[in-house]
Chain A
Amino acid sequence: MRQSKVFELIKLKFPQVSEEDLTKAVIVPQELLPAVANYLKGQDLSFDNLHCITAVDRLERIELVYIFYSFKNRQQAIVKVYLPIDAAEVESLTKFYRSADWFEREVYDLFGVKFLNHPNLARILNPQDWKGYPLRKNYTNPNLIRKP
């Protein structure tokens, strides 16, 4: 199955999605993400593996990047969700993909995105009493020395 075919199938089912120009990623509205994930996992596309979740800080918004992989079709799909930076909250995908558990904890730890209905949304890399989210552009820390 071609990459464009995957997008067409998703677009057919969910008309609200769009495609990012450079990356050919599927941009999904925040509230549609669980439905899209469910559809990707289903029989039509069989993306049975959530490979990676990461995020990009674009100052005015946070882009969540989900990479799905299908072992059956040997193919990957990239799904992006744009979130406002001051209210970064999105539904957790743990009920569809078990691997989402730790990925979401990592994104929460480093970018401060709240995943709703996550079983245990605690910091995974930094100490539990850590303040702030280190990979955000506006992160500051007294011990962090900027290169002059």
Chain B
Amino acid sequence: MAITEQIPGAEFIHKLPGGPVVLASTEKIFKWAKSSSLWPLTFGLACCAIEMIAAGASRFDIDRFGAGVFRASPRQCDVMIVAGTISVKMGECVKLLYEQMPEPKYVMALGNCAISGGIFYYDTYSVVKGTESLGIPVDVYIPGCPPRPENLFFGLMKLQEIVRKERHAAK
């Protein structure tokens, strides 16, 4: 992957004699803006949430990707980071929160528990076997137990890529 692809919006700048010029279609600009301001939901379930909190703090700083505005209401969010073990009782809340989010919405499954149940896959009566078994579509899976903040950022960059490569700006 070329470096210009990694930096969102870098391909809009064209070097012409007399100075650089920004040239792009509105749809591309709209996607670039959307991918650079993904607002996540303030929502943690288990120890992966601690990594998510660390990612939000100054040492790792999720704000560099424009995703640092953790909203306290699902109605103001773009992305739900399912951070941790989903218990059967919490599953209903997760479904409700997902349904309350306005379109377009994206879901990141952070950690093994949110992907498949993780270490709670066997011999546990109270844990849901992953986010998808609740009927919630997942865009990015981030494995790890728990994943480090860097992994979360990699997942976030993948999500930004997905947003920029969408067929239509409005999903």
Contacts and interface: CB of A to CB of B under 8 A. Distances in A.
Interface of A: 126-127, 134, 139, 141, 143-147
Q: From DSSP, what is the main secondary structure of chain A's interface residues? A: loop
A141 B126 CA distance: 10
Contacts, number: 23
On chain B, which size bracket covers the interface?
Answer: under 10
Interface string B128-142: 010000000000000
B5 interface: no
Instruction: Classify the secondary structure of B's interface with A.
Output: loop
Given A126-B89, A127-B88, A127-B89, A141 B125 contact: yes
Interface stretch (B54-62, B78-86, B116-124, B147-155): B116-124
B125 A145 contact: no
A147 B126 CA distance: 15
B122 A143 contact: no
Contacts of B122: 145-147
17 contacts: A126-B88, A127-B88, A127-B89, A134-B125, A134-B126, A141-B125, A143-B88, A143-B125, A144-B123, A144-B124, A144-B125, A145-B121, A145-B122, A145-B129, A146-B122, A146-B123, A147-B122
